[in-house]
A and B are shown apart, each in its own frame.
Chain A
Amino acid sequence: MTDRPTRGALRDFLHAVGEDLTLNARDNNQVAFTVLVFMAAATLPFIDDGYLLSLGVDITMYAVLATAWMLFSGPTNYISLGSAAFFGIGMYTVGIGLGMLPFPALVALAGVLGGIFAAFVGLATLRISGIYFVIFTLGMAELIRQITVWGQAKMGSQAGIFVNHPMSSGELYLLLLALLGAVIFIGWWIGRSRLGFALRIIGNDEVVAAHSGINTARAKVVLFVISTVFASVTGALVAPRYSYVEPTLAFSAFISFQVVIMALLGGTTRLWGPLVGVIPFTLLLELINRINPRLSTLLLGVAFLLIVYVIPHGVVGLIEDVRSGRTSPASIRGKLLGLLQRKGTHG
């Protein structure tokens, strides 16, 4: 790897295959619209502090998790099945640390710990092939759960922890909303950075990316760390909501599952995609739980299959199919390959 391509070079590369990356009036409108939506959403705690607000907390929590998931798995196509591991790390950092450190410091610490663990996982698996990464993430939450239970038994404490940190639902909701704003902003910023351009090329074709001088492993690890820091911080923030934290709650496989299903329902090609999936799905889940909680796992599984088979590109994909006229990933890949060959013969 002699010369790293600059941001400009990567942009030209993508531009040459038909991706328009210049900011225009439409983008400005989108930014203004996003800010307005967030301001409207921030008024919720002042309108209702009961059922609606608790639903709002659920929605913002899953929105952060799903958007963070999509930051990594969307452009790279590497499916992470382990969001709950990071969520649980965050929750337990707060659970164990309360009384020793102030809450904001614990939230930051949760992000750091989650990030370090992600870097470790990423370095071990992302250098090789996507399949190892998927397998590793599959049992990761369960692994950390086992280690947590064991560690606590060694220390002589019980598996569950009382979390005594008073926090109103309104406060939690606003914090999560701010975090959601942050994850969307970071996602937007990455999309326009050197890293984002590199990732787009990796997602289209990893061989092409490696040949054009991109350090693919490093780009993937960095992105995975960013994505999981958000998941860990989310877990830390919501810990006070449950006054009693235990391993099966913090490392529940259902969290990972729901994050993937919501992001897929929305679509992983646009930043606002997961949001589109999270809102209807949280409502659906609430409905299922009201009718018969025993059915929820089965219905979740069926819903997941329906999404994979019927709308593989999510709601966003549906919308874009309707607008159409965009270049499909397959044609982008063909163009990238063509460009690389030409570059090779000239240089």
Chain B
Amino acid sequence: MTILIIGLLLGGIYALMAMGLQLQYGVARIMNLANGEILVAAAFGTWWFYTGYHIAPPWSLLIVVPIAFVVNWAIYRVLILPLVRRAKNQGQLEVDSILATFGVSFVFIGILLLTFGGDYLNYSYLAQGVEIFGERYGANRILAALIAVALCTGLYLWLHKTRPGLALRAVSVSPSSAGLVSINVERASALAFALGGAVTAAGGAMLSMFLTFDASLGVLFTLKGLVIVIMGGVRDIRGAIAASFILGLVETAVAILIDPGLTLAAAYVLFLIILLVRPEGLFGRRST
């Protein structure tokens, strides 16, 4: 029961992170290896606002998310767009963007180390327990998951009901055809990339409410996010959400039953199973 509840709470936040990555990889078609660093930077930011200025974590979303949006938009404009324009084919762009974002991730780690040092940080916010089915769970975990689910729902509706959202989905399906129906693909990609970064940052702010973090943690989240996206299918939001909860549950089960230090191994086991059994993702169609 404990595993189920903690796993679902964690899965809700992973869903937010995975949607961010999916916007970047599925729509903008950039595999952003610096995604986890954005998440960790947001966690640091939230910590800073809370311990320094007494801004409660849910409110710091209002600061952290717009900053992440602007930063990611700038990253796309300044660093990624030249690669998109210089690439002769998709394979070349893939290699270049992997290398570029890998470099960006280390720039982020460097900035975080300089600003906050290399220590583990955490803070105590809403640390009292809430009783569910006879067990007590941290109120901060529950609040974080609720906010994450609300944001996911909002994003899902935006993508399905509004014109700009539909435009992004059109680009995700086919950038060349999207251009034909007067969608500015370059602008849509920049928007998707920036939005993806902002959503990931929101995930980071929520995670920081109950997680201890340090500057080197980013790669773990990048990897988990990528595993979720692959498991769910690259352009399938429902798949990503399902995969987020699966990862949240498996990870929590491993942490509680075996060892909290093996969460990455849990992600890798899922990754291997997917690679060997369904490389096209949970709900994906096998391409021929």
A263 CB to closest chain B CB, in angstroms? 11
Nearest residue in B to A328 (C-beta to C-beta)? Answer: B88
Sorting the interface of chain A by its residue count into under 10, 10 to 19, 20 to 34 or 35 or more gives 35 or more
Is A132 a contact of B103 with CB atoms below 8 Å?
no
Is B104 a contact of A305 with CB atoms below 8 Å?
yes
Nearest residue in B to A292 (C-beta to C-beta)? Answer: B114
CB contact list, A139-174 vs B, under 8 A:
139, 142-143, 146-147, 149-150, 153
- Determine the distance from Cα of A324 to Cα of B279 in the docked complex, in whole angstroms: 42
In the complex, whether B82 has a CB less than 8 A from a CB of chain A is yes
- Determine the distance from Cα of A146 to Cα of B107 in the docked complex, in whole angstroms: 25
B61-69, B89-97, B193-201 - the one binding chain A: B89-97
- Determine the distance from Cα of A299 to Cα of B223 in the docked complex, in whole angstroms: 24
Is A297 a contact of B109 with CB atoms below 8 Å?
yes
Is A146 a contact of B99 with CB atoms below 8 Å?
no
In the complex, whether A186 has a CB less than 8 A from a CB of chain B is no
In the complex, whether A44 has a CB less than 8 A from a CB of chain B is no
In the complex, whether A34 has a CB less than 8 A from a CB of chain B is no
In the complex, whether B230 has a CB less than 8 A from a CB of chain A is yes
- Determine the distance from Cα of A138 to Cα of B102 in the docked complex, in whole angstroms: 10
B122-130, B160-168, B260-268 - the one binding chain A: B260-268
Q: Mark B106-144, 1 if CB is under 8 A from A, else 0.
A: 111111011000000000000000000000000000000
Is A299 a contact of B94 with CB atoms below 8 Å?
no
Is A297 a contact of B113 with CB atoms below 8 Å?
yes
Is B110 a contact of A298 with CB atoms below 8 Å?
yes
CB contact list, B204-238 vs A, under 8 A:
216, 219-220, 222-223, 226-227, 230
From DSSP, what is the main secondary structure of chain B's interface residues? helix
Is B99 a contact of A330 with CB atoms below 8 Å?
no
**Chain B CB within 10 A, most for which of A134, A143, A308, A309:** A308
Set of chain A residues within 8 Å of B264, measured between Cβ atoms: 139, 142-143, 146
In the complex, whether A136 has a CB less than 8 A from a CB of chain B is yes
Q: A132-B279, A142-B220, A260-B102 are in contact. Are A309 and B261 (CB under 8 A)?
A: no
Is A135 a contact of B259 with CB atoms below 8 Å?
no
Is B114 a contact of A124 with CB atoms below 8 Å?
no
Set of chain A residues within 8 Å of B102, measured between Cβ atoms: 81, 257, 260, 304
Set of chain A residues within 8 Å of B106, measured between Cβ atoms: 257, 297-298, 300-301, 304
A321 CB to closest chain B CB, in angstroms? 15
- Determine the distance from Cα of A14 to Cα of B16 in the docked complex, in whole angstroms: 49
A266 CB to closest chain B CB, in angstroms? 14
B253 CB to closest chain A CB, in angstroms? 15
Set of chain B residues within 8 Å of A135, measured between Cβ atoms: 31, 223, 226-227, 230, 271
Set of chain B residues within 8 Å of A125, measured between Cβ atoms: 275
- Report which of B99, B113, B219, B279 forms a contact with A142, defined as CB distance below 8 A: B219
In the complex, whether A96 has a CB less than 8 A from a CB of chain B is no
In the complex, whether A79 has a CB less than 8 A from a CB of chain B is yes
Set of chain A residues within 8 Å of B271, measured between Cβ atoms: 135-136
15 examples of A-B residue contacts, CB within 8 angstroms: A79-B98, A132-B230, A138-B222, A139-B220, A142-B223, A146-B263, A150-B259, A153-B259, A260-B99, A298-B111, A300-B106, A301-B109, A301-B110, A305-B104, A308-B103
Binding site for A on B (CB under 8 A): 31, 33, 79, 82, 88, 91, 94-96, 98-100, 102-111, 113-114, 216, 219-220, 222-223, 226-227, 230, 259, 261-265, 267-268, 271-272, 275-276, 279
Return the 5 tightest CB-CB contacts between A and B, nearest first.
A298-B110, A301-B106, A301-B107, A297-B110, A139-B223
